[in-house]
Amino acid sequence: MIEIKSIYKNFGRLAALTNINLNLLAGETIAMIGPNGSGKTTLIKTLLGLVIPDKGDVLFNNQSVLNQWQYRERIGYMPQIGRYPDNMRIGQIIDMMVDLRREKAGKTDLELMKSLGIDRILDKPMRTLSGGTRQKVSACLAFMFHPDVLILDEPTAGLDPLSSEILKEKIAREKERGRLIIITSHILSDLDDLVTEVVYMQDGLVKFHKKVEELQEQTGEMRLNKVMAVLMDPYYDPVMQ
Amino acid sequence: MQKITKYVLLDILRNRFMIAYTLLLLLISFSLFMLEDSTAKSLLGLMNVVLFIIPLVSLVFSTIYLYNAAEFVELMLSQPIRRRVLLTRMYGGLALSFFIAIFIGLGIPILLYATSVQGLLLVLAGTALSLIFSALALLASVITRDKARGIGVALLLWVYFAFVFDGLVLLLLFQFADYPLETPMIVLTMLNPVDLSRIFLLLQVDMAAMLGFTGAVFQKYFSGITGQLISAAVLLMWIFIPLWLSIRRFNKRDL
């Protein structure tokens, strides 16, 4: 569904992305894991066309996304830090989005808005919201238009345990519907039972892209944080296993 | 996608600064018309408002507004919206709100006290300068990421067009006093939208004498239909070239 072909991106002298090649298919739930500054967000922003690569191409359903915009109709994006116009109210932001996307009334997915309690605080101005509430608004907007692809950048960071659980259940339901879901997170325990693949990035490089079962087999561990701990162990030697 | 223009417009019209600007224009216009006994003099006074205050406010307000809209831009660009469309629609919202401010602040008093071709041209010149300087502000905000630097660039542009440019022209005039400079002067005027509007307006209120002997050349040039069309075209270029450069730059920018 999304094909990333030898993407390069430099910010000044810093190489943010170096020769990234990935093939992401519908139905997969991909965890993008890597230390801070490893290029996860830059890669996600490249998929969205927010960052323009120096070299390489991104194909969405076999069509290049460079200088394109229509394809974003099919993506729901939840940014790491949701930034919204301060003087607008939650309800206004949501109405504006529905208006801009020309979604017919009643066709939007309001499930998260109800379960996260956003529908009760529609008249709150954005500037008064806490980080967690902003995250909830971002989540509602990402899921609202039944996207084929969900890109969630640190979705559970800053959410309380209850909301985090609601969001995870929603992600699981969307996964059942065969969406392509890309999640970056540092909280690996949140990703257990959800993800089918792991993409590990470091210093702007994709170190590996493997199925979860494969990694579990390779390391002999079941839980994702254990798996990653084994893989990240400097003394770990895959040949010995 | 006119909706983006609508949202920007509604947002600006509620802005306290914009309301104050409109009221200030209204106050200046009414006091000029009430203080002076001849409407020609009032129009001349208003002309200075048009030539100095309008470019300054358009530049500074647009620059600050565009920097503060960074979140809005980011939100919009993760939606199915073309970058060019977003930028031009935002500019459209700014332009429309300046037009509304000028129409209320200048247009209505002129309609009440001095309904005339000169009055109409003054409103038109004010609108043109607003559009030009907000396009320049757009360019400044697209080129520099830093808000303080962007506003600095905007202010420098204003100082340049309002004062420095005239100084440079004077310097040139003295240096080449021995040569016939009338035609080069017209070309030089085209390089500054403020000067172009000033000369255009002065000639309309029959104040060509204030321009000295070059005034005669200007009179000949700007009163002809060709001259007027060329001036209008040049003013339009002053809107579209910065706009085009901003779009080009914005299309390649990372967010």
For the record, the structure tokens of A121 come out as 């605080």
**Residue A103: which pLDDT band, with cuts at 50, 70 and 90?**
low
Residues with pLDDT less than 70, chain B: 1, 205-215
Distance CA B123, CA B101 (A): 11
Question: What residue spans of chain A are helical by DSSP H?
Answer: 40-48, 90-101, 111-115, 131-143, 161-176, 212-219, 224-232
pLDDT of residue A187: 82
pLDDT of residue B178: 86
> Among residues of chain A, what percentage have pLDDT more than 90?
50
Distance CA B88, CA B245 (A): 12
B147 interfaces chain A, CB cutoff of 8 Å: no
Distances (CA, A) of A116 to A92, A170, A237: 18, 11, 44
Higher pLDDT, B222 or A141: A141
B254–A52 C-beta distance less than 8 A = yes
pLDDT of residue B44: 86
Among residues B51, B47, B61, B72, which one has the least CA distance to residue B206? B47
pLDDT of residue A42: 92
Handedness of CA B34, B36, B40, B44 (dihedral sign): negative
- Contact list in A for residue B79 (CB cut-off 8 A) is 72, 97, 100-101
The lowest-confidence range among A32-36, A124-128, A232-236, B241-245 is: A232-236
Distance CA B200, CA B228 (A): 8
For the record, the structure tokens of B165 come out as 């440019």
**Residue A186: which pLDDT band, with cuts at 50, 70 and 90?**
confident
B7–A96 C-beta distance less than 8 A = yes
Closest Cα of chain A to B86: distance in Å? 11
Considering only CA atoms, give the Rg of chain A.
Answer: 18
| Helices B39-48, B117-143: crossing angle, 10 deg rounding | 0
- Contact list in B for residue A73 (CB cut-off 8 A) is 80
pLDDT of residue B201: 83
Decide if the complex's ipTM is over 0.85.
Answer: no
Q: Is the pLDDT of residue A241 over 70?
A: no
pLDDT of residue A219: 85
The residues with which A24 forms a beta bridge, in sequence order, are A2
Mean pLDDT in residue range A45-68: 91
Q: What are phi and psi of A105, to 5 degrees?
A: -60, 140
For the record, the structure tokens of B184 come out as 């080069």
> Among residues of chain A, what percentage have pLDDT more than 70?
96
Mean pLDDT in residue range A216-220: 86
B1 interfaces chain A, CB cutoff of 8 Å: yes
Q: Is the pLDDT of residue A104 over 70?
A: no
Interface A-B: count of C-beta contacts within 8 A? 60
Distance CA B75, CA A143 (A): 15
pTM of the model: 0.88
